[in-house]
Amino acid sequence: MTRKVGTEEAIQRWNRFADAYAANHTEQGDIHKEVFLNPALFSLMGNVKNKNVLDAGCGEGYLSRMLAKAGARVTAVDYSPRMIEIAKERTPNGLPIRYQQGNLENLYDLEDQSFDLIVSNMVIQDLADYEKAFQEMHRLLADRGCFIFSILHPCFITPESGWEKTIDGHKLHWNVDRYFYEGAYEQRLGDQEKILFFHRTLTSYINTLIHTGFHVESIVEPKPAKEMLEKYPSFAEDLRCPDFIVFQLTN
């Protein structure tokens, strides 16, 4: 846990971490996105050809590029100025992607009901005011549109969680503590930067979505497929408990 902080400090930390974060991403994202999140997201998104899509929290832009190559017209926003710079640098000329800096808590310059699909990949946990972000996604979604977002699984990735190990490092079981704490906590990523995450309970997430006006269509707790385990055998341990959860919602 940490002192009371908000999204502005989270932005500053992600901005400082942007280059190191991007260096760890290929055109499939990082290894966790390749193994867990991309298969879940694309199975829920279906055919995106000719759809107006918002990549809400695009980071270095890998998902925006994948969506554009699949035929979508993409608007990509991220609250880190440096992330947007990197995303533009990595995007080939001709891909239909419009990048802009923007905080999902207030995307005032985007028009109501302007997107057929909104996808937010591992972003909502980076925002202090997730209720406001959900309200913005609901405002921006066209009638019969779809909002899909992924986060760290709040039941298993808590402010104090991790493997219980033997003295020689054998992993016994996954410990979870402080689940009902809601607020900011720090997580070291890379060698230097401590990133801010904002923890909420699963109850808070689902009730907030319902109260915002969303309908829950599907929930996925991604696990590695057989072909991914053949490629990355170490991920067999992720069959013991989930790291992520993905929601598919309609308005």
Confidence at residue 193, expressed as pLDDT on a 0 to 100 scale: 72
pLDDT band at residue 238 under the 50/70/90 scheme: very high
pLDDT in tens, 108-142: 999 999 999 999 999 999 999 999 999 999 999 99
Q: Which long-range contacts (CB under 8 A, 24 or more apart) does 85-90 make?
A: 86/18, 86/19, 86/22, 86/60, 86/61, 87/58, 87/59, 87/60, 87/61, 88/61, 90/22, 90/60, 90/61, 90/62, 90/65
List Cβ neighbours of 188 (8 Å cut-off, separation of 6 or more).
194, 195
Q: Are 34 and 63 a contacting pair, CB within 8 Å?
A: no
Largest Cα span, the chain:
56
Give the mean model confidence (pLDDT) for residues 54-62.
Answer: 98
Confidence at residue 1, expressed as pLDDT on a 0 to 100 scale: 47
pLDDT band at residue 146 under the 50/70/90 scheme: very high
Give bridge partners of residue 192 from the DSSP assignment. Answer: none
Q: Which helix (H) or strand (E) holds 119?
A: strand 115-121
Residue 199 is which amino acid? H
Domains of the chain (ranges, CATH numbers): 7-250 (3.40.50.150)
Tell me the Ramachandran region of residue 113: left when phi exceeds 0, alpha when psi lies from -120 to 50, beta otherwise: left
Give the mean model confidence (pLDDT) for residues 14-42.
Answer: 97
To the nearest whole percent, how much of the chain has pLDDT over 90?
95
